[in-house]
Amino acid sequence: MSEENKQWEIVQTLNTITPGNAHFSLKSLRAKLMNKDGIVPSQMPENDALLAHANSSMTCYSCHTSWTPTCFGCHLQMTANARKPMLHNEGLTTRNYTSYNFQVLRDDIFMLGVDGTVTGHRIAPARSSCAVLVSSQNASREWLYYTQQTISAPGFSGQAFSTFVPHTVRARETKQCSDCHVSAANDNNAWMAQLLLQGTNLMNFLGRYVYVATGNKGFEGVAVAEHDEPEAIFGSDLHRIAYPANYKQFLARNRELTSAYEHTGNVLDIQARGEYAYAATGAGGLRVYDIANIDNKGFSERVTTAPFSPLGQRFFVPKNAQAIASPSTLAIDPLRAISKGIDRDRAVDESGNQLAVFGRRGARPLNRAEALRLYIHSRTGEFYSVADEPVEHPYSSTSSSISFTSTSSTSFTPLTSFWSRARDWLKSFR
């Protein structure tokens, strides 16, 4: 729909960095012309590579994005004997219906990665774009598997991130300096961990069961969540809202959990990974249990060491094992994917190793060197922090460049007000 005589002015980038122009912005000039030494020259350098935010190394929408949509999971639950219209095949019906239950959609997350080969491996926003869990119930109402991670034949996780264009590009409601760099106020450490895909446990999926080592009594799989959708954790705010009657009953019995399945033995520590639980059993070594049927009422023994045959399926390592740990919560391979819960806002471990699949060819998380440049000066090796408002060092009125504060201090003490210094700096161009 168009309106006669309706006009919009398309502000050019040059206008925002030209002193005296009606659209001049000191923030825009700092962001676009600052070089890698923290100096903002009075004019564009000949070599784009000298800039801190060079167009050759990062996308414009890395900064000019107001918000980014992020999906932290969905549950695909297939149920037999549920007569439903078949999706995408109009006129047909199916007896095996798969419902789509989205779990967490967020708009307050911001993460960075390296874009794919086609776009030149530039820095770009990244998001969790595939965090699928699947369940299947047969005609006898037996859960063949419940809230399991998807894993490909080569062993790759179905938990995937990807770089993307958020389609929320704005000129004013943009990212600030402290959205990607350590704040001089020292108040964004967790935000930086999230930005670099290290995870903050903002979204940690536990599932219906958690596994508890009980020493010489073995271990137990304890039900901690509702079976229906949404799978609210007992006693949580979501439980109170979605299941008010069950929530009141839970409080009435003093928050006591009542459903659990056990397996005897001597288990000192345990972690679940997909359909298996890895247990440290002391002198008995590392032992792997099959927990695929923990929710299947058709099995009397829901936890086993050899589900079909004792030949070739019982797995253990005969060494003294006191504890078990893994850097990853994703089911990628047995060496990196023993899980306690799926930390869904995490795509790399503490060492920067990639944990989640990236959906675009050539896309990946930032490597260690790239991440360090966000808070370590590449030339001097010194730590630096930033302020969102342009704050300059004192300078003479005839200087041809301006140096913005980049310091490890958590406070600033400018000699004059910001606006008076900005006015003096503008006069230097006359």
212, 333: one domain: yes
Asked if residue 122 belongs to a domain, the reply is yes
Average pLDDT (374-396) is 77
Average pLDDT (170-195) is 93
76, 194: one domain: yes
Asked if residue 392 belongs to a domain, the reply is no
| Percentage of the chain modeled with pLDDT above 70 | 84
199, 76: one domain: yes
129, 189: one domain: yes
How confident is the model at residue 74, as a pLDDT?
85
237, 195: one domain: no
| 397: pLDDT strictly greater than 50 | no
How confident is the model at residue 145, as a pLDDT?
86
| Close Cβ partners of 335 (under 8 Å, ≥ 6 residues apart) | none
User: Is 287 within 8 Å of 281 (Cβ atoms)?
Assistant: yes
235, 196: one domain: no
Q: For residues 4 and 111, what is the distance between their CA atoms, to the nearest angstrom? A: 41
Per-residue pLDDT tens digits for 50-91: 899 998 999 999 999 999 988 888 888 888 888 888 777 777
Nearest to 386 by CA among 175, 228, 73, 144: 175
CA atoms 340, 159, 105, 177: torsion sign = positive
182, 217: one domain: no
171, 251: one domain: no
Asked if residue 14 belongs to a domain, the reply is no
How confident is the model at residue 57, as a pLDDT?
92
How confident is the model at residue 214, as a pLDDT?
93
Nearest to 267 by CA among 278, 257, 275: 278
How buried is 241 (Cβ within 10 angstroms: 0-12 exposed, 13-18 middle, 19+ buried)?
A: exposed
**Amino acid, res. 421:** R
Asked if residue 16 belongs to a domain, the reply is no
How confident is the model at residue 414, as a pLDDT?
35
How confident is the model at residue 66, as a pLDDT?
93
Residue 398: pLDDT band (50, 70, 90) is very low
145, 108: one domain: yes
Q: For residues 2 and 293, what is the distance between their CA atoms, to the nearest angstrom? A: 60
Asked if residue 422 belongs to a domain, the reply is no
Calculate the average pLDDT of the chain.
Answer: 82
Asked if residue 240 belongs to a domain, the reply is yes
219, 166: one domain: no
* Number of structural domains found in the chain: 2
* Domain containing residue 260: 208-340
How is residue 61 annotated by DSSP? Answer: G
187, 225: one domain: no
User: Is 213 within 8 Å of 263 (Cβ atoms)?
Assistant: no
How many other CB atoms are there within 10 angstroms of residue 119's CB atom?
A: 15
Cis peptide before 19 (omega within 30 of 0): no
β-strand partners of 128? 161
Residue 110: pLDDT band (50, 70, 90) is very high
Average pLDDT (378-394) is 79
Q: For residues 381 and 181, what is the distance between their CA atoms, to the nearest angstrom? A: 15
Asked if residue 403 belongs to a domain, the reply is no
End-to-end CA distance of the chain: 45
Residue 99: pLDDT band (50, 70, 90) is confident
Structure tokens at 389: 């408002």
Asked if residue 245 belongs to a domain, the reply is yes
| 424: pLDDT strictly greater than 70 | no
193, 141: one domain: yes
